[in-house]
Amino acid sequence: MPKQVNASIFDFHGRPSLGKALPLSLQHVLAMIAGVITPPIIVAGVIGASVEERLLLIQVAVLASGVSTLFQLYGFWKFGARLPAIFGVGFAYVPTLIAVGSQFGIAGILGAQLIGGISMLVVGYFIQYIRHLFPPVVAGTVVLVIGLSLYDIAIRYMAGSGNVQAPGFGEPINWFVALVTLTTVLIASQFGKGVVKLSAIIVGIVVGYLLSLLLGMVSFESVAEAGWVAVPQFMPFELEFHTSAIIAMVIICVINSVQTIGDLSATTVGGMNRELKTRELTGGLLGNGLTTALSAFFGALPTATFSQNVGIVAMTRVISRFVLALAGGFMLLAGFSPKFSALVTTIPYPVLGGATVIVFGMITMTGIKLLIKDELSARNMTIVGLSLALSLGIAQVPEAIAQLPTWIQSVIGGSPIVVAAITAFSLNLLLPRVTLADEERERELMARTDDSADCSPLQARESSLRSHRQEGSAGNASSS
């Protein structure tokens, strides 16, 4: 008998039909596309890139995202997580890229990125020996802050743009489209059945996009101007190496490795209901380091896990590699066809915001789920609470670190994830490991001490003698 093909979308090795996999895959593409093209757009503006250089940076960013996703899904030798995760050019690096780019241009960014990618490879190699330094209390804190730090992005998108200074930001029409999209996602995810329920994100995006078309919010000008096919070139930009740029990039790349640990942990816990394996973690970090280093030779910015797609996996529990590989294939196609990429980017910001805000909420809940896997002792609550307070506090008041050296500002001022990771990691090493059982014993001892203090000296002495006699009797009974 022929071997039966596994078509389950809830199995990593499942291969569902194309009709079933396509909508599930497209929602991953639509959730990540804005995040992929935004960093190169920002960097292009900082370095004063020409129109041709701007389009090139966007194109290779999309291409690198497709390649890194497929590489992580299928892997090669020890490289690749082989988990249902999406990788691509990420937001986390943007503050450092801006700081480096404003001083040394795109050549300085790419040179520092090459060294940064190598540092990620080193972290990936040694992670098997230091993984115990990243227990659930550390990884869960990072995932929790990832989710919380994304809310402002979703709200800005819902209000009309990633930039609060953009024309029309916050207008009622933007909120109307965003809320219709969000309502559609909620209805599809909570009341829909089958593919509709699992594809709630793309159902919401389709409804929001059609509404945007009717309201005249969609422009196809960029599609008309884009070419059909473009092949990336090797080293379109020179690579320059500057010490300060390298230090800043190495730090953010190492910190991003902690975020990768958090995202991959959230993927396995939220989507596969199990802990992350050391082999998967090692492969993911090594793969991300390799793609980041090689991307520098093609003008693509550094890669990272995409937290919004982690949220989709956690929400839908769809972990089929085939589904996510289709998403990687679409990104690959868009990387070779600027016109295809331009078409995807016509989706208005309010539609993306309305569709992804619930996904960011799922990331937060996955972080909480990770945290409660470890006991909520006073020690662990201190680690989580202080990490949240410092990371989100500094993010809300960036002026508080304005007098610090520029390189420190570029490292910790741009993303609360960096502060949370450093704080949680450091406190986990420094604070004494006290369990709930230890705390309970300490409370009992203190209560006993207080009771003794309330007694007269004679009563305390008699109580002590009784205690010794009871312990002696118990010891004799044990010996017999």
Tell me the two tokens of residue 283: 């492969």
Predicted confidence band of residue 478 (pLDDT cuts 50, 70, 90): very low
The answer on pLDDT for 23 being more than 80 is yes
State how far the Cα of 393 lies from the Cα of 387, in Å rounded to an integer: 10
Mean pLDDT of 35-46: 78
Give 423-434 pLDDT, tens digit per residue. 998 999 998 877
Cα→Cα distances 229→226, 395, 402, Å: 9, 41, 45
Q: What tokens does 102 get?
A: 């404003």
- At residue 4, the pLDDT reads 62
CB atoms within 10 A of CB 479: 6
Residues 86, 306: contact at Cβ < 8 Å? yes
Q: Which pLDDT does position 479 carry in this prediction?
A: 46
Residue 452 has a CB neighbour count (10 Å cut-off) of: 14
Question: Rounded distance, CA 68 to CA 310, Å?
Answer: 15
Q: Which two tokens stand for residue 15?
A: 């291969």
Both tokens assigned to 254: 């190492």
The predicted-structure confidence for 81-135, as pLDDT tens digits, reads as follows 999 999 998 766 776 787 788 888 999 999 999 999 999 999 999 988 887 887 8
pLDDT of residue 328: 92
Question: What does the pLDDT average to over 319-336?
Answer: 90
Mean pLDDT, the chain, rounded, equals: 82
Number of CB atoms found within 10 A of residue 7's CB: 14
Rounded CA separation 217/290 (Å): 40
**Distance, CA of 445 to CA of 20 (rounded, Å):** 61
Read off the pLDDT of each residue in 69-92 and give the average, rounded to a whole number: 90
Q: Are 351 and 212 in contact (CB under 8 A)?
A: yes
pLDDT in tens, 10-20: 888 889 888 88
Specify the range with the lowest mean pLDDT, choosing from 77-91, 247-261, 327-341: 247-261
Q: What share of the chain is helix, strand, coil (3-state, %, to 5)?
A: 75, 0, 25
Q: What are phi and psi of 89, to 5 degrees?
A: -60, 125
How many degrees, rounded to 5, is the angle at CA 220 between CA 217 and CA 52?
125
Q: What are phi and psi of 161, to 5 degrees?
A: -170, 160
The reported pTM is 0.69
The torsion angles phi and psi of 421, rounded to 5 degrees, stand at -65, -45
If you average pLDDT over residues 267-296, what whole number do you get? 91
- 244, pLDDT greater than 70: yes
Average pLDDT score over residue span 368-384? 85
Structure token pair of residue 149: 């730090």
* DSSP H helix total and E strand total for the chain: 20, 2
pLDDT in tens, 378-406: 888 999 999 999 988 988 888 888 888 87
Question: Residue 87 forms beta bridges with which residues?
Answer: 305
Q: How would residue 303 be classed by pLDDT, with cut points 50, 70 and 90?
A: very high
**Contact indicator for 394, 408 with CB cutoff of 8 Å:** no
pLDDT for residue 411? 64
- Are 23 and 331 spatial neighbours (Cβ–Cβ below 8 Å)? no
Q: Does residue 480 surpass a pLDDT of 50? A: no
Q: Would you say 234 and 47 are in contact if contact means Cβ atoms under 8 Å apart?
A: no
What is the arithmetic mean of pLDDT over 277-295? 94
For residue 303, what are the β-bridge partners? Answer: 89
Q: What is residue 459's predicted lDDT score, i.e. its pLDDT? A: 57
Contacts of 275 (CB under 8 A, 6+ apart): 265, 268, 269, 373
Helix (H, G, I), strand (E, B) or coil at 459: helix
Residues in the chain: 480
Quickly state the pLDDT bin for 72 (edges 50, 70, 90).
very high
Mean pLDDT of 32-38: 75
- Lookup: tokens for 161: 């743009």
Report the range of poorest mean pLDDT among 129-143, 248-262, 444-458.
Answer: 444-458
Measured in degrees and rounded to the nearest 5, phi and psi for residue 87 equal: -120, 150
Helices 307-316, 136-149: inter-axial angle, 10-degree rounding: 100
**Cα–Cα nearest to 114, from 304, 294, 305:** 294
146-200 pLDDT per residue, tens: 778 778 878 888 888 767 777 888 889 999 999 999 999 899 888 887 667 767 8
Least confident interval from 223-232, 283-292, 354-363, 468-477: 468-477
pLDDT bucket at 273, cuts 50 / 70 / 90: confident
What is the distance between the alpha carbons of residues 139 and 136, in angstroms, rounded to a whole number?
A: 5
Q: Are 141 and 275 in contact (CB under 8 A)?
A: no
Residue 321 has pLDDT above 60, yes or no: yes
Q: Is the model's pLDDT at 477 over the cut of 50?
A: no
Residue that wins the pLDDT comparison between 140 and 290:
290
